[in-house]
C-alpha cells in the first residue's frame, strides 16, 4: 500500500523523534514504568533542561504521556509499539554485525 505525502511526512516525523540518542535512552528508562524528570536526569546522567526538552519532543510525537502527581509530572510510555520497532532495528544491527564479523573471520582465514 503506497502512502500519500501527508502520511509519509507523519512517518518521517515519528522516525525523526527517534533519531536522538537521549530520547532513546529516556524511552528505555520509561519502559520500566512512569518516572519524574528528576529521576530520569539521575538515571541517564543528562542535564535537566535537556531531559525536559527531549521529553517534550517525545510527547509531541505521541510516544510518551504526562500525568501530574502532586508537584511532580510523571512521564510514561504512551505507545508501547515503539519497543517492537526498536527490536526490529536492533535485530537488523545484530545481523549487520554478524555479517561484518563473518567477513573479518573469512579475511583472517585467507591471510594464514
pLDDT digits (tens, 9 = 90+) for 30-79: 999 999 999 999 999 999 999 999 999 999 999 999 999 899 999 999 99
Report the C-alpha gap between 57 and 62 in whole angstroms.
Answer: 9
Contact present, 45 and 27 (Cβ < 8 Å): no
User: What average pLDDT does this structure show over 90-103?
Assistant: 91
Q: What percent of the chain has pLDDT over 90?
A: 78
74 phi, psi to nearest 5 deg? -100, 140
Would you state the torsion angle of the CA atoms of residues 78, 80, 84, 87, taken in this order, to the nearest 10 degrees? 80
Amino acid at each position: 500500500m503506497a502512502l500519500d505525502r501527508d502520511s509519509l511526512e507523519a512517518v518521517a516525523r515519528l522516525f525523526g523523534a527517534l533519531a536522538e540518542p537521549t530520547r532513546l535512552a529516556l524511552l528505555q528508562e520509561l519502559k520500566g514504568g512512569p518516572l519524574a524528570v528528576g529521576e530520569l536526569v539521575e538515571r541517564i546522567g543528562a542535564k535537566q533542561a535537556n531531559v525536559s526538552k527531549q521529553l517534550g519532543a517525545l510527547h509531541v510525537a505521541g510516544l510518551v504521556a504526562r500525568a501530574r502527581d502532586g508537584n511532580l509530572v510523571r512521564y510514561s510510555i504512551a505507545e508501547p509499539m515503539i519497543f517492537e520497532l526498536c527490536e526490529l532495528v536492533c535485530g537488523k544491527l545484530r545481523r549487520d554485525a554478524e555479517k561484518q564479523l563473518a567477513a573479518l573471520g573469512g579475511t583472517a582465514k585467507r591471510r594464514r
